[in-house]
């Protein structure tokens, strides 16, 4: 049987997209922290576009199957979730802060918990920076909890808090993409067994 090589283009696209979009997420979060009077409508549209594109990148990442298969293992569901949330933010930017105050907190908290699992898996793989992912996952999860349980702040405080959460989430995703996505030029495709062989192996 011919030994086929896996196409690395989806992996490179997912990793590159993760890095670029995480950096843009950090930039948007930093802007909201430094300029709490920033136009909510414009911030909502920018956040909506970022979330929709990030959702697509996450879905591609899930199916790309990089060597370690750590960074994208939970991204299929998150990718699907982020697309309608991003669409809502894009269509209703004036409601973005109030809507995402709790919803974004839940999403970031859940993502922090999944990234916590990724950090432990990274340690088992022998990845040296697993502790960095662990620390950032705990930080992002904490910020998510703050958003969930403190929904009655003033508009400026809410905007700054959302910005800080986006900044933490962006740094977390950036660290995961840089530390755990392994792309090799000559990665072999997964072995695909004939149905009869697969059934025999299952029965054993």
Concatenated DSSP letters of 115-164: HHHHHHHHHHHT-TTHHHHHHHHHHHHHHHHHHHH-TT--HHHHHHHHHH
Q: Which of 69-78, 159-168, 169-178 has the lowest mean pLDDT?
A: 69-78
Mean per-residue pLDDT for 179-189?
63
What contacts 181, CB < 8 A, 6 or more positions away?
11, 14, 15, 18, 66, 68, 70, 71, 72
pLDDT (0 to 100) of residue 95: 65
Q: Determine phi and psi for 182, rounding to 5 degrees.
A: -110, 120
Residue 132 binned pLDDT confidence (cut-offs 50, 70, 90) = very high
Task: Compute the mean pLDDT over every residue in the chain, rounded to the nearest whole number.
Answer: 78
Q: Which of 29-33, 86-90, 126-130, 190-194 has the lowest mean pLDDT?
A: 190-194
Nearest-10 Cα torsion for 142, 137, 56, 39: 40
Mean per-residue pLDDT for 135-152?
86
Residue 152 binned pLDDT confidence (cut-offs 50, 70, 90) = low
């Amino acid at each position: 049987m011919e030994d086929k090589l896996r196409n690395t283009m989806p992996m490179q696209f997912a990793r590159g997209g993760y890095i670029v979009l995480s950096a843009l997420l950090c930039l948007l979060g930093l802007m909201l922290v430094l300029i709490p009077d920033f136009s909510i409508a414009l911030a909502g549209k920018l956040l909506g576009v970022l979330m929709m594109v990030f959702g697509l990148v996450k879905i591609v990442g899930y199916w790309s199957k990089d060597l370690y298969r750590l960074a994208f293992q939970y991204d299929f569901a998150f990718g699907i979730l982020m697309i309608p949330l991003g669409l809502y933010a894009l269509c209703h930017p004036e409601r973005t802060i109030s809507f995402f105050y709790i919803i974004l907190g839940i999403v970031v908290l859940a993502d922090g918990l999944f990234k916590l699992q990724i950090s432990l898996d990274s340690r088992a793989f022998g990845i040296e920076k697993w502790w960095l992912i662990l620390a950032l996952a705990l930080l992002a999860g904490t910020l998510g909890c703050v958003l969930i349980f403190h929904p009655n702040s003033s508009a400026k405080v809410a905007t700054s808090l959302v910005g800080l959460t986006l900044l933490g989430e962006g740094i977390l995703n950036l660290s995961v993409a840089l530390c755990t996505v392994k792309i090799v030029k000559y990665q072999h495709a997964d072995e695909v067994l004939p149905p009869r062989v697969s059934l025999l192996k299952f029965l054993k």
